[in-house]
């Protein structure tokens, strides 16, 4: 059974069906999901049929593309409606979300996995639409505090078990917490919780697009929001609550120039394309087509018409042409709305080396990095760089391009690991174009070494052309005739901060138990202290102590683990690691990043 054939199921439906199971059936739920995955699926209009066996059929009735009611999943077995099959089908299907993930962060890098529950690109809300700005002394409502606590506890249980041990039951509990948060007016916490469930499912199914750092970031986001919300006030409270739809404000008439397009393929089940444009002052705007779907939609959306006004331009064409927009509405992240009053027509584009786009590359590299680390204009983290390809460098996750960028040894990595997207193949071909000088667009990847995710580049043999590396496929014939064999560099030793980072990652993958082994990190704390990372050593000691903390009752039986303590210790370590890596990233690029207070209250 292909998950793509199953309709998205609302989180509340999955939670309701799993909760209704008896304790005996709950223990068999994961096996039931695996068994159901091997059965044939047929979709006829709004009905999806799964042949459980020769005599039993399971039906899912879809309304508006989503299963929104528990009674819409029907089974013909003798135990129905209290059977295992209904809960297994809901647990195997994609998770439906009330809104698409935030764009323009199509790849789940730092902060993207959490989402904010913002509206889809097609919505194009009206001016001023959004939530009321709270007063400076306003605090969260009692129902929101309860919902935040529920989300924290459910996420802590997932962290305690790790991705390997978080089966369908724990996933359903987190989905119920997400539904509770959304009803309480906390769309950001709800979207973050759904991202965790999707990340756990990807890890357990060995999805080739799964990346452990993305799941770590998703867990850090949802725990951080749930932890901070009770003490938040005013603007911080509004940020933590999030919005279901981004507010769009009028921006008059715009003359835009296409920069590049990139595919969107998220862990939350959304796919499509985003086209980046710039105006004459260098401000960035995006045009998006994002909807539920998989890799096929991500690769095909580039050839769909742009949904602004009456223009017939596709995303691929817009990335090389221009757009004249009247009555424009724009979200805080620079996304163009598609409301009824918006008009757009095709206009001439501009080369990357010509005005007004040339000014994007004229900005100093350190200034661009500092802007990206601090959120930048519209919250984007794009870098516009002139580089010379020098070879490849070997990393734990595979080889990446090595390039010289204003004297810095820059590492250019694949922007998305899904094999359906051409990123990896294009990167391998560019590795053979050693010595080529190219203009590129990349997304900053925070870390102790200068590193970025390559999104678009000048054509290696034709500087007047450009290549969207997530949509276009390079060929050997596209390489310049002087291209030689790439030079491979050895991995550079990183700062010992990885001693803490790997424990943070191990906990997400294997759960608390993998950190509870005696002597598992002997000497790591001392090594961190020797190099002056005393706080990192203290956090590591607390994380290991929280993992090993198990008390016994009067009869010598182990009591339940303190998941709250372990979750807080892990969150403190994850936040600290992320902030230190951000500062190391700024130092590596020669930029300045404003420090953040990340450990208060933990």
Structure confidence by residue, pLDDT tens digits, 306-359: 878 778 889 999 999 999 998 888 887 888 887 778 888 889 999 999 999 999
Q: What is the 3-state secondary structure (H, E, C) of 220-274?
A: HHHHHHHHHHHHCCHHHHHHHHCCCCCCEEEEEEEEEEEEEEEEEECCCCEEEEE
pTM of the model: 0.79
Q: Do residue 559 and residue 459 come from a single domain?
A: no
**Given a cut of 50, is residue 127 above it in pLDDT?**
no
pLDDT value of residue 270: 78
Q: Do residue 282 and residue 188 come from a single domain?
A: no
Q: Do residue 370 and residue 485 come from a single domain?
A: yes
**Given a cut of 80, is residue 99 above it in pLDDT?**
no
Cα angle for residues 141, 147, 149 (degrees, 5° grid): 105
Q: Do residue 479 and residue 505 come from a single domain?
A: no
For residue 379, being part of any structural domain is answered with: yes
Cα angle for residues 442, 448, 450 (degrees, 5° grid): 30
For residue 206, being part of any structural domain is answered with: yes
Q: Do residue 556 and residue 574 come from a single domain?
A: yes
Among 419, 454, 489, give the residue marking a domain's end: 489
For residue 506, being part of any structural domain is answered with: yes
Q: Do residue 453 and residue 370 come from a single domain?
A: yes
Q: Do residue 157 and residue 233 come from a single domain?
A: yes
For residue 165, being part of any structural domain is answered with: yes
Q: Do residue 232 and residue 256 come from a single domain?
A: no
Residue tagged 């030793």 (tokens): 493
Q: What is the mean pLDDT of residues 290-295?
A: 82
For residue 315, being part of any structural domain is answered with: yes
For residue 100, being part of any structural domain is answered with: no
Tens of pLDDT, residues 533-581 = 899 999 999 999 999 887 777 887 878 888 999 999 999 999 999 999 8
Tens of pLDDT, residues 51-93 = 988 888 999 999 888 899 999 999 999 888 889 999 999 999 9
Q: Rounded distance, CA 166 to CA 172, Å?
A: 10
* Chain center to CA of 70: 29
Q: Rounded distance, CA 51 to CA 251, Å?
A: 53
* Chain center to CA of 174: 18
Tens of pLDDT, residues 453-464 = 999 999 988 888
Provide the residue range defining the domain that includes 266: 249-347
For residue 411, being part of any structural domain is answered with: yes
Query: Which tokens go with 305?
Result: 């018409």
For residue 162, being part of any structural domain is answered with: yes
Read off the pLDDT band of 112 (50, 70, 90). Answer: very low
pLDDT value of residue 486: 54
Q: Do residue 387 and residue 424 come from a single domain?
A: yes
pLDDT value of residue 391: 87
DSSP state of 338: -
pLDDT value of residue 308: 83
Q: Do residue 61 and residue 39 come from a single domain?
A: yes
DSSP string, 268-297: TSEEEEEEEEE-TT--EEEEEEEEE--HHH
Q: Do residue 237 and residue 253 come from a single domain?
A: no
Q: Do residue 236 and residue 258 come from a single domain?
A: no
Tens of pLDDT, residues 213-243 = 889 999 999 999 999 999 999 889 988 998 8
Structural domain tally of the chain? 5
Among 441, 460, 489, give the residue marking a domain's end: 489
- CATH number for the domain spanning 308: value is 2.40.50
CB of 441 closer than 8 Å to CB of 457: yes
Q: What is the 3-state secondary structure (H, E, C) of 503-564?
A: HHHHHHHHCHHHHCCCCCCCCHHHHHHHCCCHHHHHHHHHHHHHHHCCCECCCCCECCCCHH
Give the number of other Cβ atoms within 10 Å of residue 312's Cβ: 9
Among 92, 114, 133, give the residue marking a domain's end: 92
DSSP state of 424: H
């Amino acid at each position: 059974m292909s998950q793509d054939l199953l309709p998205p199921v609302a989180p509340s439906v999955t939670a309701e069906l799993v909760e209704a199971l008896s304790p005996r059936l709950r223990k068999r739920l994961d096996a039931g999901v695996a068994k159901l995955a091997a059965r044939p699926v047929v979709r006829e209009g709004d009905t999806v049929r799964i042949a459980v066996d020769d005599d039993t059929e399971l039906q899912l009735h879809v309304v508006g593309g989503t299963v929104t009611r528990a009674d819409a999943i029907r089974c013909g077995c003798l135990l129905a409606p209290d059977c295992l099959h209904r809960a297994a089908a809901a647990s195997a299907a994609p998770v439906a979300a009330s809104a698409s993930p935030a764009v323009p962060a199509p790849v789940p890098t730092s902060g993207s996995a959490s989402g904010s529950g913002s509206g889809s690109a097609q919505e194009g809300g009206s001016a001023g639409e959004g939530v009321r700005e709270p007063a400076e002394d306003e605090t969260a409502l009692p129902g929101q505090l309860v919902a935040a606590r529920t989300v924290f506890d459910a996420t802590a249980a997932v962290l305690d078990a790790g991705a390997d041990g978080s089966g369908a039951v724990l996933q359903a509990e987190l989905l119920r917490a997400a539904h509770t948060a959304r009803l309480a007016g906390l769309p950001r916490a709800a979207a973050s919780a759904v991202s965790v469930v999707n990340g756990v499912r990807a890890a357990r199914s060995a999805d080739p697009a799964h990346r452990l750092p993305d799941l770590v970031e998703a867990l850090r986001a949802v725990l951080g929001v749930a932890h901070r919300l009770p003490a938040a006030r005013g603007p911080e409270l509004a940020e933590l609550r999030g919005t279901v739809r981004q507010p769009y404000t009028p921006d008059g008439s715009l003359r835009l120039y296409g920069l590049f397009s990139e595919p969107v393929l998220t862990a939350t089940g959304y796919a499509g394309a985003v086209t980046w444009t710039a105006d004459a002052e260098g401000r960035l705007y995006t045009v998006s087509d994002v909807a539920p779907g998989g890799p096929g939609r991500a690769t095909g959306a580039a050839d769909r018409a742009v949904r602004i006004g009456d223009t017939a331009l596709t995303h691929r064409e817009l990335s090389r042409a221009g757009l004249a927009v009247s009555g424009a509405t724009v979200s805080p992240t620079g996304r163009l709305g598609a409301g009824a009053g918006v008009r757009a027509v095709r206009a001439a584009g501009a080369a990357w080396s010509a005005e007004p786009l040339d000014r994007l590359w004229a900005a100093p590299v350190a200034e661009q990095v500092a802007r990206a680390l601090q959120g930048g204009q519209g919250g984007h983290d794009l870098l516009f760089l002139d580089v010379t390809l020098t070879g490849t460098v070997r990393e734990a996750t595979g080889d990446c391009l090595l390039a010289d960028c204003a004297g810095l040894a820059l590492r250019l990595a694949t922007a998305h690991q899904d094999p359906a997207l051409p990123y990896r193949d294009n990167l391998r071909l560019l590795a053979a174009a050693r010595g080529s000088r190219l203009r590129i667009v990349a997304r900053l990847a925070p870390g102790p070494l200068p590193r970025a995710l390559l999104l678009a580049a000048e054509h290696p043999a034709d500087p007047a052309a450009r290549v969207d590396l997530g949509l276009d496929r390079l060929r050997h014939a596209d390489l310049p005739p002087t291209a030689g064999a790439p030079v491979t560099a050895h991995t550079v030793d990183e700062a010992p901060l990885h001693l803490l980072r790997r424990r943070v990652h191990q906990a997400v993958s294997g759960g608390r138990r993998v950190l509870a082994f005696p002597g598992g990190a002997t000497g790591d704390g001392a090594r961190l202290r020797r190099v002056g990372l005393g706080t990192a050593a203290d956090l590591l000691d607390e994380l290991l102590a929280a993992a090993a903390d198990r008390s016994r009752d009067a009869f010598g039986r182990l009591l339940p683990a303190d998941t709250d303590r372990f979750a807080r210790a892990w969150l403190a370590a994850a936040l600290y690691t992320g902030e230190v890596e951000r500062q190391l990233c700024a130092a590596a690029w020669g930029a300045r990043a404003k420090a953040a207070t990340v450990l208060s209250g933990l």
